[in-house]
Amino acid sequence: MKTKADESGRRPNCMVLNQPDLPAEKRRRPPRDLIVEVLKNMRRNLEPLRYSTLAPSRYLIYLHPNEYARLESIIPLLQEQTIRALSEELETMNRRSRVQRYAERLTGNTPPLIESAAGEWHVEFLPDPDGDVEEGALLIDSQLRLPPSLELGGGEKTRRITTHHIGSQITTRARVVSDAPATPATPTTPFVLARLTYEDDAGYHTFDVVKDSISIGRGGTTYPVDVKIVSSVDVSREHARIRRHPQTGRFFLIDLSSLGTTLNGRHVPRGYDDADGTKKENGVETPLPDAARIGLAETVFLQFELVRP
């Protein structure tokens, strides 16, 4: 079943908490509750490794503009106390009783230390610029930067987990975004690898592909994309991704949308699974020919062309 959040392509790595049935004056959240929700977000999005467990270190908390205006005078104090609460929560999660420590020595099974992925916390409270957060609602965009030495592959990556809380319904989407720099120019790999041409509500555009992974969609402040499409909400905030295999030079199309992506008129399989309210990328990709027509929800069409050296 598609929720309103699914169809609008709501921004990633976030928690949305709505109170739609209450009048505006009763939907106001005590500032204390904002801190509590950030702590819940941190505990929910831990990344276990072999010798440690990483906690997201960056939190952007978006409020309705009216709610932000009400709290604006105490935002610096709220930010300071949220950071303090994150540090205290981490200390509590790592604390072991005397009995636990004794049992761990006997079994040799010591749980990994939980630590901030970046070593420090980054917390910001901001007014929602995209109109996604209703008055009385809360959106938390959390990000966990993974070091390049992890088994996920070369280059830095950011793990993003989006959790939508709308009434009693919870939807979660997990993904890992590559932060790899653009592919450098070499005799066998030109700077411009491929080219996209398309027309949306803002006019005609040409986009040169100069790195191994680009995202396409309507985008948003907390949902950055490389190719920003000006269109209706039928096009998701991140609708599709084009990936280039750096060794073979082959391109692949990944559908991340709610309403589908087509390749030369045929729908491609979705690049994520949706089970028990959890969306997670499944690695499914569709090879791109040297020239192809990519359709986004049958609303906007992009012409893909490989650029040869």
Question: Would you list the domain boundaries of the chain?
Answer: 4-178, 194-306
Whether pLDDT at 18 is above 60: no
Alpha carbon distance 256, 170 (integer Å): 19
Q: How many CB atoms lie within 10 A of CB 28?
A: 17
Q: How many helices (H) and strands (E) does the chain have?
A: 5, 22
What's the sign of the alpha-carbon dihedral 12, 14, 20, 26? negative
Q: Does domain 194-306 have CATH number 3.30.70.1530?
A: no
What is the predicted pLDDT for the residue at 61? 87
183, 189 Cβ separation under 8 angstroms: yes
Residues 193-216: what's their mean pLDDT? 94
- The amino acid at 193: L
Residues 92-112: what's their mean pLDDT? 83
Residues 15-25: what's their mean pLDDT? 51
DSSP tag of 220: B
Helix, strand, coil shares of the chain, percent, nearest 5, are 20, 40, 40
pTM to 2 decimal places: 0.65
